[in-house]
Amino acid sequence: MNLEDKLRQLRSAAQKSSADRELERQLEWLRRRDPSVRPLPAQRFPRGIEHYVDGSLQTNHLGEYFIARQALPFGRPYGKLRVGDVSAADLGALEIFLEGGALPDPARLIYLDTETTGLAGGTGTCAFLIGLGTIEGSDFVVRQFFLRDYPEEKAVLAALAEVLAGYQGLVTFNGKTFDVPLLETRFRLARQRSPFGRMIHLDLLHPARQLWKLRLETCRLTHLEAEVLGVGRTGDVDGSAIPGIYFDYLRYGDARGLQPVFYHNALDIVTLAALTAELARIIRTEAASAAGQAIGGAEEGAHSLDLFSLSRIFERAGDRSRAASVCRRALDSGLPASVEPRALWHLATQHRRSREFEQAAEIWREIARRETDYFLDALEQLAIHAEHRLRDATAALEFTERALGWLRSNGGPPERGGTPAEWRAWSRLERRGALERFGHRRDRLKRKAPGPGAALASLALSEP
Amino acid sequence: MAFETQALLTADHSREQSVEQAIAEIQGAFRGPARLGGVTAVRHIPARVAEAVPIPEELEPRVAQALETRGIRQLYSHQAEAFRLGREGKNLVVVTPTASGKTLCYNLPILDALVRNPDARALYLFPTKALSQDQLTELSRFAAELGDGIRTFTYDGDTPQDARKAIRARGNLVITNPDMLHAGILPHHTKWERLFENLQYVVIDELHYYRGVFGSHLANVLRRLKRIARFYGSRPQFICASATIANPADLAAHILEEDVTLVDRNGAPSSDKYLVFYNPPVVNPQLGIRRSYLNESRRMARTFLARGLETIVFANSRLATEILVTYLKEDFSRSPGGPEMVRGYRGGYLPLERREIERDLREGRLLGVVATNALELGIDIGSLDVAVLAGYPGTIASTWQRAGRAGRRQGASAAVLVASSAPLDQFIVQHPDYFFGRSPEHGFVNPDNLEILLNHLKCAAFELPIEENERFGGLDLQTVCRHLTETGFLHHTGGAWHWVSESYPADAVSLRSVSSDNFVIVDNTGEPRVIGEVDFPSALTTLHEKAIYMQNGDQYHVERLDYDDRKAYVHRVDSDYYTDAISYTKITVLERFESRSQKSEVRSQEEEVRSPADGEFRVSNLECRESRVPRPDSRLPFTSHGEVHVNTQVVGFKKIKFHTHENVGAGNLTLPEQEMHTTAWWLTLPQEMLASLPYSSTDRQDGVRALGNALQAMAILLVMCDGRDLGVAVGENSRSQEPGVRSQGEEVRSSELEVQSSTGSEFRVADFGARSSRTPNPEPRVPFFEPNIYLYDKYPGGIGLSEPLYRMSGSLLENARKLIENCECEAGCPSCVGPMGEIGEKGKEVAVAILRGIAACGQE
């Protein structure tokens, strides 16, 4: 150590306050006690990503950053689709998932997915890999911005904003909750303007859930990719391992582990685009066939559970006639017993709302034939229908008595030690005050129609 | 038995008579000799007239108008002073009694500023959500007068998700608590851009509440807050309010780490008030047993409640609260179907239930309430007639706050303190002058406690990278950040440390207790349901298997404690006993910072009390390490402070019968041992000095243990902490080691318990506590006996109690002597040195002899 270094050391020691020294002393104790603390090799700027990932260093006014770019030709197969389907897709059908606004055509759309240092959110989570998918010429292009280290974030964000500026629409998977707020936070921390405000944003997670949740149970992107697109991923990395891989790279400077992360991210982007096209296709096809038009002829018919889900999507979008017709098709092509009553109830509701009461009543009668879900609801609707529309108090009373009879023998609390499902079912009944409501109805009906009416009601029931 | 209450009184004068009659009845209740108990003091605090000044001309006219609309045409002098200083940009701490209009002290300058500049932002911090709600109500009344200039919201765990976005963007006066600031706001500061860019004021009410661990955490949260504000280019001004303590400005300065101006000249009026100290009479002079303070408190409360006086009873624990609710509900059983007349109120009740009780109290629908300190802080429950304090609240400041809950605008009110047999209670009730004199209580914090600091540095790094040259509360962070880098939390690059972990660090830090681990209580009586939560340290003592857990007067038997999953499964029972846990403690000295013989100590009459952050001491501490503090003259007693290792374990419990409080059984428990590295103060009694006392060696050991109990009691009083914050243990020195550096100690909390002394290679088998220890050892003991009495900080790393204690050693020993000498018991009782069963027949006598011996050494 030369004299100058010694002097500098002395000087810095003298500047330390006594509180600082106290802290160091406490720390020394802590370290002696905690064997998990081990010195790291000297920190160095992590390098080496270029050895494992095909990409290049770029420079903008805020510094250097690393970007990987790969182009997938349209002709390349992707599961049961081709990459080019993404560009050819008519996405207009997806507008029912937007709260106003129109989706631009696929060429003005950008697909985005990030890999982050965690899922915790807040200011301490960072997107270290930002993947973008766009259509350029006859290719689907995936660009990936990578943070070789934190100081490059400013340059990366600026470059990202520059690319986004050329597009009008954004498609993500859970981006409304996760990716976009996270990036907005990063922009704010970097004191840069967030580019997202002006973009139309379609978060595919919710549409995908609405359409496939009933059939697939989980709607993770990789799961949809396999089930809906028929893509089999190999060599993928488990998403929960990704932050650790990046941290290890930062600490030890070894970029090898990142290769599968880039791959994972790129696949997510392509899948996102393909899934968008496929979702649009299904909705468009079914909407058309609901309206009595067939497109293309050879299109594959949707699964009956998906049809039921789609019917509910149409309902939410306020399109009752499509909702009813798609639901009827779902029922016709056969639904599992656990779902069928719900679908019937849903279909009846569409008819009721369209004031097609006879059709609705027919379905209610069908539900009421078996003691399944919606059994009580159907009886209640039938009672209402009989009392107020058919003005048949006797029949209404009969439906009511039947509901009450069922409630008396089945509606009590479960035995001690009943299953949670039984308790839930019971508490749902309790909450809805079924017994009380039917009781009131019966009292009222009795005043209206004291005479016997059993014959009429059973007649009503036995009619198909 | 059920009492018929008189029709609720409305006329002030009859209420006043009732209060006076009730006090007379209490005074006449015990006719034995005064030294055995009864009323030890009745202070009449006459009504005080206001010191009023005109509304300052500088006050924004709309605010002045709003005041006038609300009937305020003058200010109390302290309000005007706070307004003036606040406008000058000073950081303030306002110290005035309960109900002196202190909220206006911060509301005036802030409303004034917000009306002038609606873009400006203010952040209010209250220690509890209930207080926040209360302040919101208060401010909303103002806001209604001031148009849309003031947009007040509370932001805490109860705020609905969909309202949060609007609050973040629009609210210019946001009311929250330190916990939410710590875990909900700072880690998401980018969403609060508008607030931080324009943050002009931060209000911290109930500042005295933030001492010890909580205060040390708050200081670090504020360091983080200032750091974020700096990022957005703002530098807020702080206005604090505190109850009366000895060092409010000092405490504020250490929490804020800023210059602070004190406003403490109270200009508010007050009404007639009686303060009564009552000591339950001694029923067994041999054992020093007094009548149960809970029974006596119940009797007091009954005296007032039966006269239709609205009464709040404060108890010091959840347990005592539940016992008293049970008793008083028995006394005042409601008519069938009618409303409850008496209810309980404490943490652990659901928020809705609490709001309902608060409202019923305000509207006079509830005659009595039994509460923990949850109702001590300024929640608006209106004014009641009487406060009965079942047991000394632990600090003079709390006592005044609780007493302040009784006090009408007009007419008399009363507060009765019923002393328990705890030493602190006995000291206070027997030395009323100590209480009514100048406050001796100091609040201390230690923001640089390493454990606390490390946790907040993680949070800070999560919020913004830590720059190399950055300082955090004046600390240089290089070493600590390097440590966090090596433990894998930070990454050093480009001149800053970045957070590199998937976790959300604020979630792992609870500001209020050692760990954020809570135990969930599941009631399996019917359909399983969660009935409450208990923090980790309390869980080990209240939720162990076979414990009786009490909530809202209901008793639950703990069937299983799932330690790993932090769950306790309970079953409703009807039990005639409750349980009390027994724990075991062992102490090892790691390092001695400073030592002084009591010779020099006693001579310096007025000890300086320095705050833990004081630089000078730290320097000497460091030198200690390097040069091994020389042991003072070995013939004289000396005190030290330093670092220790503490092992504690809950090993058993006692069953105690309701009403009679007799011991009806016990059980063993095996709960995991808790380890802690912390700081301690200790007194070393040299072999030579003890040997000169004319007692057997067993008696000497008893005396030392007795002295330990008395010292703990007095220390709690001086450093204003809770019994839970400061532990006591006795150990001894071994001459085979470097004197005074290493020692081992152990403590036995209950005489029923057997404790085996452990042998370590470095340590000699401690023969201390031989009475309960049955370590077989056929050889005669070495007669050498040189004990240490430890008072240790119960927070890992220490929260700065030991060093002030070391500075106050003289008055600590002196007051302990007073406590023991003035106690009426014959040979020790729970009120001074512990009961005879625990400290032996001569324990008390020897303790006094030792203290006199120490005093004599000082006069040589």
Judged against a pLDDT cut of 50, whether residue A197 lies above it is answered with yes
CA distance A63 to A154: 8
β A127-136/A139-146 pair status = antiparallel
How many Å lie between the alpha carbon of B185 and the closest alpha carbon of chain A? 9
* B447 in A contact zone (CB under 8 Å): no
The separation between CA A236 and the C-alpha centre of its own chain, rounded to angstroms, equals: 21
At B389 the three-state DSSP class reads strand
The residue type found at B79 is Q
Q: Is A419 on the interface with B (CB under 8 A)?
A: no
Token readout for B400 is 């005044």
Give the separation between CA B462 and CA B454, rounded to whole angstroms: 12
Sign of CA dihedral B802, B803, B806, B808: negative
Residue A169 bridge partners (DSSP): A109, A200
What does the alpha-carbon distance between residue B731 and residue B769 come to, in Å, rounded to a whole number? 9
Q: What count of Cα atoms within 13 Å lies in the side-chain half-sphere of residue A423?
A: 10
A57 touches chain B (CB under 8 A): no
Residue B859: count of CB within 10 angstroms of its CB: 8
Local structure of residue A258 (DSSP, 8 states): G
Q: Match 């008390």 to its residue by tokens.
A: B844
Q: Around A418, how many Cα atoms within 13 Å sit in the side-chain half-sphere?
A: 15
Q: Does A40 touch chain B (CB under 8 A)?
A: yes
Nearest 5°: phi and psi at B106?
-95, -30
Task: Point out the residue among B474, B494, B677 whose CB comes nearest to the CB of A149.
Answer: B494
Q: Which helix (H) or strand (E) holds B834?
A: none
Distances, alpha carbon A164 to alpha carbons A91, A103, A183, in Å: 20, 15, 13
Look up residue B229 and give its DSSP letter. H
Say which of A25, A118, A123 has its CB closest to residue B189.
Answer: A123
In degrees rounded to 5, what are phi and psi of residue B294?
-70, -45
Per-residue exposure over B128-143, b if at least 16 CB sit within 10 Å of its own CB, e if not: bbbbbbbbbebbeebb
Quick check: A423 contacting B, CB < 8 Å?
yes
- In this prediction, residue B412 carries a pLDDT of 83
B273, β-bridge pairs: B45, B413
CA distance to partner chain B, nearest, from residue A28 (Å): 10
The series of mean pLDDT values per 10 residues for chain B, 860 residues long, is 41 67 81 77 87 92 90 92 94 86 91 91 88 83 80 87 88 93 95 95 92 88 97 96 86 94 88 89 74 90 89 87 89 72 81 82 87 75 86 84 78 88 79 76 80 91 94 86 89 92 87 67 84 76 85 79 88 83 80 74 36 30 37 74 85 77 80 82 86 84 88 81 77 50 33 25 28 37 72 80 84 85 72 69 87 75
Q: Which tokens hold the place of A361?
A: 């009543």
- Chain B residue closest to A39 (CA)? B486
Residue of B372, B464, B456 lying closest to B178 (CA atoms): B456
Structure confidence at residue A39 (pLDDT): 57
Measured CA to CA, the distance from residue A361 to residue A367 in angstroms comes to 10
Q: According to the model, what pLDDT value does residue B784 have?
A: 65
How far is residue B164's CA from residue B157's CA, in Å, rounded to a whole number?
Answer: 11
Q: Between residues 281 and 300 of chain A, which touch chain B (CB distance below 8 Å)?
A: none
Q: Which of B59, B171, B176, B85 is closest to B121 using CA atoms?
A: B171
Cβ within 8 Å of residue A423, ≥6 positions away: A413, A414, B527
Higher pLDDT, A318 or B77: B77
- pLDDT per residue as tens digits for the range A60-106: 999 999 999 999 999 999 999 999 988 888 888 888 888 777 888 88
Question: N- to C-terminal Cα distance for chain A?
Answer: 100
| CB within 8 Å: B504 and A423 | no
CA–centroid distance for A344 within its chain: 26
What is the average pLDDT value for chain A, to the nearest integer?
83
Distance of alpha carbon B742 from alpha carbon B784, whole angstroms: 16
Asked whether B92 and B249 are in contact (CB, 8 A), the reply is no
- The partner residues of A142 in beta bridges, in order of sequence, read A70, A133
What's the confidence (pLDDT) of residue B625?
34
Across B190-264, the runs of DSSP E, i.e. the strands, are 199-204, 237-242, 261-263
Higher pLDDT, A8 or B628: A8
Nearest CA-CA partner of B529 in B520, B538, B537: B520
Q: How far apart are CA A415 and CA A405, in angstroms?
A: 19
Beta bridge pairs of residue B149 = none
Contact B396, B368 (CB under 8 A): no
Tokens of A378: 């159907």
Which residue type sits at B152?
Answer: T
Between the two ends of chain B, the Cα-to-Cα distance in Å is 63
pTM: 0.76
Residue indicated by tokens 């498609």? A171
H/E segment holding residue A248: helix A242-252
Q: Give the tokens for residue B318.
A: 């959840």
Pick from A229, A239, A249, A226: nearest CA to A178: A239
Q: Which amino acid is at A55?
A: G
Taking CA–CA distances from B593, the nearest residue in chain A reads A22
pLDDT of amino acid B750:
27
How much of chain A is in helix, strand and coil states, percent to nearest 5?
A: 55, 10, 30
Residue B23's CB is within 10 A of a number of other CB atoms, namely 21
In whole angstroms, what is the distance from residue B156 CA to residue B174 CA? 10
Instruction: Flag if B474 and A19 touch (Cβ within 8 Å).
Output: yes
Calculated CA dihedral for residues B121, B127, B130, B135, nearest 10 degrees? -40
Among chain B residues, CA nearest to A185: B190
Residue A53 tokens read as 């990932």
Handedness of CA B525, B527, B528, B531 (dihedral sign): negative
DSSP B574-613: --SEEEEEEEEEEEEEEEEEEEEEHHHHHH--S-----TT
CB B721 within 8 A of CB B209: no
Give me the pLDDT at residue A247, please.
92
| Residue appearing with tokens 């990716």 | A179
Rounded to 5 degrees, what are φ and ψ at B391? 95, 145
Axis crossing angle, helix A357-368 with helix A340-353, rounded to the nearest 10: 160
CB B106 within 8 A of CB B82: yes
Q: Identify whether the C-beta of residue B594 lies closer than 8 Å to the C-beta of residue B621.
A: yes
**pLDDT tens per residue, range B33-64:** 766 788 888 898 888 888 999 999 999 999 99
B616 to A18: CB separation less than 8 angstroms, yes or no: yes
**Who's near A90: CB < 8 A, 6+ residues apart?**
A280, A284
Which residues in chain A (73-92) have CB-CB distances under 8 A to chain B?
Answer: none
Distances (CA, A) of B177 to A228, B73, B174, B194, B510: 48, 32, 10, 19, 13
Are B684 and B740 in contact by the 8 Å Cβ rule? The answer is: yes
Q: How many Å apart are CA B154 and CA B596, to the nearest integer?
A: 51
Beta strands (DSSP E) in B605-750 are 638-657, 663-668, 674-684, 726-733, 743-748
Of all residues in chain A, the one with the smallest CA distance to B492 is A43
Hey, is the C-beta of A417 within 8 angstroms of any chain B C-beta?
no
CA nearest B642 in A: which residue? A26
User: Distance between CA A259 and CA A237 in Å, rounded?
Assistant: 10
Q: Can you spell out the DSSP letters for A268-328?
A: HHHHHHHHHHHHHHHHHHHHHHHTT---TTTPPPPPHHHHHHHHHHHHHTT-HHHHHHHHH
Distance CA B583, CA B650 (A): 4
